[in-house]
Amino acid sequence: MALPTIILLLLVVLFFSSNATQPPRTLHIPVLHRDAAFPPAPGATSPISLRLHAADATHYTVQLASSLHSTTITDDQQLRSPVVSGLPFDSGEYFATVGVGDPPTRALVVIDTGSDLIWLQCAPCRRCYRQLTPLYDPRRSSTTTHRRIPCSSPRCRGVLRYPGCDARTGGCVYTVVYGDGSSSTGDLATDRLVVFPDDDGIAHHNVTLGCGHDNGGLFESAAGLLGVGRGKLSFPTQVADTYGRVFSYCLGDRMSRNTSTSYLVFGRAPEPPSMAFTPLRTNPRRPSLYYVDMVGFSVGGERVAGLASDSSLALDAATGRGGVVVDSGTAISRFAVDAYAAVRDAFDARAAAGGMRKVDDNFSVFDACYDVYGYGGGHPKVRVPSIVLHFAGGADMALPPANYLVPVVGGDRRTHFCLGFQAADDGLNVLGNVQQQGFGVVFDVERGRIGFAPNGCSA
């Protein structure tokens, strides 16, 4: 979770099917939608059903469904982007269900490629936010599983960025602060981490994690965080002896309840033929993050020109500037100001030619929003310019419209669609989870590459 952003709450739940004492070489984890665990409140506004169909190689046609209250999700592979009332993306992380301790306490934790430490809220709490699963109390766990790490341990002084020491107990104290201001402080410990298929589970012993007694920020509902970055304390690194330094996921449609084919996999899985790879870069100033180089954009089938500096999208290892971070913990992608402005202006020109009327008002962080209603009282068709992200090594991401058109509801209760990117003025470009949804994404540290495959959830 590297950056502040407005985001939509989604759920990722992990399930393994294997013998608890013999973990498989590859762990495959289906994903369920948040509504499976958090049903919408009675009387909540129903989504607006929107169908997006490919019209040609460079544009898409948007057809508003005749029923504005349709919530049916079918298996016909149509791409649907429902609209909810209120500002979208109030919270947008994906979650995993794990168990901690013995007997295990189940916990929903955010899956975050932008950080390393695994932590969860623990009793006794000095400051804890509301979570939807039971609070973990290490005092009720077996003393053979939960053990505090001493201040003198290399896992304290040699790994933590800001190590502390409890003078009373001699135990290591961690503090993590995220880009959006969220934070956690507590005891660094080793414990038993379990992932459940049903009542049984695959247990990993002596996993280093944080037991947070002072927590706050934008982790509402989550019990903590599962760091899957590149650092020594991340989950992939800690289980690399079993599964290798490679994992993959497909983050399903953030609004659809039909996400049973989404997944998270640790270990090397078969790669679909459509998988395209780009080199994985390392930033010495931020070594835990997964960096790639972008080489440009196409809008409406034409390469975007007029960028003040293409180098803003490529990593300068000497300065730590540039490059693009692939981050599951950020929702909306952010690009350097000049790159964002060039893409926005190219999209705006082609959107106008396709019948999309730009509205004067801005919605939250979005400054390019469009009205597709009000043309003679019917349900209009408009042509939506296509967007392709180009990465070094020839890897392209041709984004479906739902990955860059964000539906918002204005004060007049009219629904508009905004270009779902942001300008980044801090030198940190990020490929967020809204743009990644539906793609199979492989983080292959062993071979120094990251791969993208369209329709990855179905694959």
Q: Which residues are catalytic?
A: 112, 327
Judging by beta carbons within 10 Å of its beta carbon (0-12, 13-18, 19+), is residue 244 exposed, middle or buried?
A: middle
Which residues are bridge partners to 276 per DSSP? 452
Q: Which of 241, 243, 194 is nearest to 96 (CA)?
A: 194
Candidates 422, 299, 410; CA nearest to 359 is 410
Contact of 278 with 449, CB cutoff 8 Å: yes
CA distance 292 to 276: 13
| DSSP character at residue 101 | T
Among the listed residues 83, 14, 78, the one whose alpha carbon sits nearest the alpha carbon of residue 254: 83
Identify the sign of the CA torsion 329, 335, 337, 343: negative
Cα 428–chain centre separation: 16
Other beta carbons within 10 angstroms of residue 17's beta carbon come to 13
Cα dihedral 191→32→415→423 (10° resolution): 40
Alpha helices in 211-319 (DSSP H): 235-238, 240-243
Contact call for residues 384 and 351 (beta carbons, < 8 A): yes
Residue whose token pair is 């106008």: 352
CA-to-CA separations, 5 to 247, 252, 333, in angstroms, rounded = 25, 20, 9
Q: Contact 186/173 with Cβ under 8 angstroms? A: yes
Whole-angstrom CA distances from 422 to 113, 277, 339, 372, 428 are 20, 25, 10, 22, 12
Residues 6+ apart with CB under 8 A from 113: 228, 229, 290, 326, 327, 328, 329, 443
**Measuring CA to CA, which residue among 249, 239, 164 is closest to residue 203?**
239
N- to C-terminal Cα distance for the chain? 27
